[in-house]
Structure 1
Amino acid sequence: MSDVSTPATPPRSLAERAYDEIRRMIIRLELAPGDVVSETELGAALDMSRTPIREALQRLARDHFVTVIPRRGMFVSAIDVEELSMLYETRAILEPYTARLAARRGTADDWAEMAEVLDETSVPGRQPVELIELDRRCHEIIWRAAGNRFLTSTLDALYAQSDRLWHMYLADVADMREAVDEHASIHDAFERGDADLVAQLVEEHVISFDTQVRAAVASRLDAPLAQQG
């Protein structure tokens, strides 16, 4: 357990708020792959000046959510199916390692907060999109408990790409209840302080998501209409 107090989270800048909002729009497919990205339109939608919007888009370009094509403009990046393996093999390495750190450094308050999030998943009528948001909150608690901002930054970007894939391929068909149940087992292992089991369960959780996405992508690509395109 860590006895180091966690500093208060500083207020987010306009550029950070713009980044979060635009990334959310991309993840939720409000801005779909290939869409033109307009600083003017985003500024109007978010009620912000061009400066924070431009800073946010520069960061989104570094994180591969938007692509700048010289003399043509900026576009929402496509997701290259061939890069799926790199995305998930990276998460499958970093997420278990981060979970091990969290098992050593996390506090009872962290796991109580995770239990509260899991309780929210049992509310009747929860929609899949709500469940994946709760899944993300569980991951964020683990990242925070690990106490490594570099890992948190990297995993946040990787999870966002996974979230985007879920909205593209699984939102209408995936059973998020299974993922929630996996988090319940992970939470129990954290409470017992079993770092080895935590790492194993987190790795299996990431691999399970990868398997679902791969199956959905393969099904989409093998569909008759896709073959005719």
Structure 2
Amino acid sequence: MSTAVPVTPEPQRSMAERAFDEIRRMIIRLDLAPGDVVREADLQEALGIGRTPIREALQRLARDHFVNVIPRRGMFVGAIDVSELSTLYETRAVMEPYVARLATVRGTAADWDEMAEVLAETQRAGIAPVELIELDRRCHEIIWSSAGNRFLTDTLDTLYAQSDRLWHMYLADVADMDHAVEEHESILLALRAGDADRVAELVAGHVRSFDAQVRDAVTRRLDAPLAPAGARPGRVAP
């Protein structure tokens, strides 16, 4: 008679992953703003998820610097430090083009067809900027997945999430996402053509364009006469 090998139940892992995604989305979209107190009980009630998955998700978010744990005080949403904008950009500027090169070689026609379907969604009448940034993310995710390197994908996922947070903080109401869509259309053409050099060049330009928009928005806010207290310089207030 064989003995069954105990395994970790899949639903438990799925709930922890769902908790991570949902809480991170709340932080990115500023439903939980920098400096806000993070309470496990509130998250359990809001998300309908148990204590253990919530706790696992928060531990992971702390490792990714989305939340900070301060002994004897509690857990808080991490602040955004202006001085880190340059390091965020320089990391993405190296990794994104490299991953795009891998994707050009390893990706398939099916991958690029999926990307084309995502871009077609951007043409819907009345589509909101927040929906466009989600579709922008999907295009990046397809490229990352096509590269076939989960270590790079995990790192880029975290970097993009931090960039996404900056977009919601500074650009959600003013950014022209049409230009970003056009950039992805050019990237897709180069991917289909198998031109790795051109893909890397276009992806680098895409990341550079985003960085320039954020820097310009940050500069305008910090230079504004009525800039919020705590917004100069260093940690950025919402």
Fold equivalence (TM over 0.5): yes
Give, in whole Å, the separation in 1 of the partners of 2:53 and 2:228.
Answer: 42
Aligned-residue sequence identity (percent) comes to 76
Q: Structure 2 matches for 1:141-156, cutoff 5 A?
A: 141-156=142-157
1:108 equivalent in structure 2: 109
1:5 equivalent in structure 2: none
Question: Aligned pair 1:97/2:98, yes or no?
Answer: yes
- Worse overlay, 54-63 or 120-129: 120-129
- C-alpha deviations, 1:92-136, integer Å up to 9, x for none? 000000000000000000000000111111111111101000000
Q: Which amino acid aligns with 1:183?
A: H
1:131 equivalent in structure 2: 132
Q: Which amino acid aligns with 1:24?
A: R
Deviation at 1:48, TM superposition (A): 1.4
- C-alpha deviations, 1:140-161, integer Å up to 9, x for none? 0000000000000000000000
TM-score (normalised: structure 2): 0.90
Structure 1: gaps of 5 or more residues: 1-9
Give, in whole Å, the separation in 1 of the partners of 2:77 and 2:229.
Answer: 25
2:5 equivalent in structure 1: none
Give, in whole Å, the separation in 2 of the partners of 1:127 and 1:46.
Answer: 25
What SS does structure 2 have at the residue aligned with 1:13? helix
1:47 equivalent in structure 2: 48
Give, in whole Å, the separation in 2 of the partners of 1:141 and 1:130.
Answer: 17
Question: Aligned pair 1:219/2:213, yes or no?
Answer: no
Give, in whole Å, the separation in 1 of the partners of 2:147 and 2:39.
Answer: 37
1:3 equivalent in structure 2: none
Q: Structure 2 matches for 1:8-27, cutoff 5 A?
A: 13-27=14-28
After superposition, the CA RMSD in angstroms is 1.3
What SS does structure 2 have at the residue aligned with 1:174? coil
Give, in whole Å, the separation in 1 of the partners of 2:228 and 2:181.
Answer: 35
Deviation at 1:227, TM superposition (A): 7.5
2:58 equivalent in structure 1: 57
Give, in whole Å, the separation in 1 of the partners of 2:108 and 2:168.
Answer: 33
- C-alpha deviations, 1:155-209, integer Å up to 9, x for none? 0000000000000000011001100100000000000000000000000000000
Deviation at 1:14, TM superposition (A): 1.1
1:178 equivalent in structure 2: 179
Deviation at 1:228, TM superposition (A): 7.1
Query: Which of structure 1's runs of 4+ aligned residues deviate more than 6 A?
Result: none
